[in-house]
Amino acid sequence: MSEPVILVEKSGAVATVTLNRPSAMNALSRDLRRAIAETFEALEADDNIRVAILTGAGKAFCAGLDLKELGGDASAVGGSPDGSGGGVNSTIGDKDPVTSIGRFSGPVIGAINGVAITGGFELAIACDVLICSENARFADTHARVGILPGWGLSQKLSRAIGIYRAKELSLTGNFLSAQQANEWGLVNRVVPAEELLPTARKLADDMLSVVPQCLPAYKKLIDDGFAQDFGTALKTERQFSNAANKSVAPEEIAARREGIQNRGKQQTS
């Protein structure tokens, strides 16, 4: 019996999703693409799961599309016979994992354990927070194989690290080290490999300690505003906050402030 292409471990309100094709550097076969999409659809439907962690088995996070599976059949990826994410989302009957990740209403923490190349890079930046091991590296090789991205990389990357740095990466196909990614603001932090998942789980626990309804609501507010111009985003914030804050009683705020003060003392001691 073959190994499942994706593993899901649930612990309390946290689901750890592991791409499980280590011998293929977790390359995105059709089965794996479908499994990622269906897994995040199932997690969104599970009221008990509020935070997800996405990582890869073995030495790679994800090396892009599975070249061996493609075998020169361009129709399998909507005209993209490479190792990228471009074109996959337009294929009839083929589920888009990046869109499904984006539809998960809770935070998705990317625990990037190794290389994230092109389609794998797009998976990584579909996450809300990126924690990298020292072994992580990123590369956008779309231009090197002669196609364009279709999962948002061309727009998300420039917004994350600035248009000049994004152009350098995408127009050369050069690799970006974990340390450089950290310096450029692409990732939240870099940790030793053995500390990657513990760090991601600690961050998930911190997220779960906020007021429960604020976790998905605040994520949505940030994402919706980020997709708008600044003036419209400010109006969006006012609309969100006016509607949400009316339901919060003053005594609830007072009680929570005491907990915040105690937490502050613990974090600075």
Residues 60 and 78 in one domain: yes
Residues 73 and 142 in one domain: yes
Residues 181 and 244 in one domain: no
Domain assignment present for residue 82? The answer is: yes
pLDDT > 50? residue 91: no
Residues 85 and 155 in one domain: yes
Q: Which residue has the higher pLDDT, 76 or 163?
A: 163
Q: How many domains does the chain have?
A: 2
Domain assignment present for residue 169? The answer is: yes
Q: What is the pLDDT of residues 164-212, one digit of tens each?
A: 999 999 999 999 999 999 999 999 999 999 999 999 999 999 999 999 9
pLDDT > 90? residue 162: yes
Domain assignment present for residue 229? The answer is: yes
Residues 180 and 255 in one domain: no
Domain assignment present for residue 71? The answer is: yes
Residues 187 and 228 in one domain: no
> Which pLDDT score, from 0 to 100, does residue 255 have?
67
CA-based max dimension of the chain? 64
Name the CA radius of gyration of the chain, rounded. 19
Q: How confident is the model at residue 158 (pLDDT cuts 50, 70, 90)?
A: very high
Give the end-to-end CA distance of the chain in Å, rounded to a whole number. 52
Domain end residue (candidates: 180, 208, 236): 208
> Which pLDDT score, from 0 to 100, does residue 78 have?
35
Residues 131 and 196 in one domain: yes
Domain assignment present for residue 84? The answer is: yes
> Which pLDDT score, from 0 to 100, does residue 232 have?
96
Distance CA 61, CA 114 (A): 5
pLDDT > 90? residue 263: no
Residues 91 and 204 in one domain: yes
DSSP 65: B
Residues 221 and 178 in one domain: no
Distance CA 176, CA 169 (A): 8
Residues 123/101, Cβ–Cβ less than 8 Å: yes
Q: How many angstroms from the chain centroid is the CA of residue 267?
A: 27
> Which pLDDT score, from 0 to 100, does residue 249 have?
73
Domain assignment present for residue 117? The answer is: yes
Phi, psi (deg, nearest 5) at residue 188 = -75, -40
Domain end residue (candidates: 208, 229, 246): 208
Residues 32 and 132 in one domain: yes
Phi, psi (deg, nearest 5) at residue 51 = -140, 140
Q: How confident is the model at residue 31 (pLDDT cuts 50, 70, 90)?
A: very high
> Which pLDDT score, from 0 to 100, does residue 267 have?
74
Residues 196 and 221 in one domain: no
Q: How confident is the model at residue 89 (pLDDT cuts 50, 70, 90)?
A: very low
Residues 242 and 135 in one domain: no
pLDDT > 80? residue 269: no
**pTM (global) more than 0.85:** yes
Distance CA 83, CA 199 (A): 30
How many C-beta atoms lie closer than 10 Å to residue 194's C-beta?
Answer: 9
Mean pLDDT, rounded, for 108-136:
97
Domain end residue (candidates: 171, 187, 208): 208
Where in the sequence is the domain holding 33, given as residue range(s)? 6-208
CATH for 50: 3.90.226.10
Distance CA 101, CA 154 (A): 18
Cα–Cα distances in Å, from 1 out to 4, 29, 30, 113, 225? 9, 18, 19, 27, 47
> Which pLDDT score, from 0 to 100, does residue 268 have?
64
Domain assignment present for residue 148? The answer is: yes
Phi, psi (deg, nearest 5) at residue 107 = -65, 140
Beta strands in the chain (DSSP E): 6-11, 14-19, 51-56, 108-112, 115-117, 129-133, 137-139, 176-177, 189-191
Domain assignment present for residue 1? The answer is: no
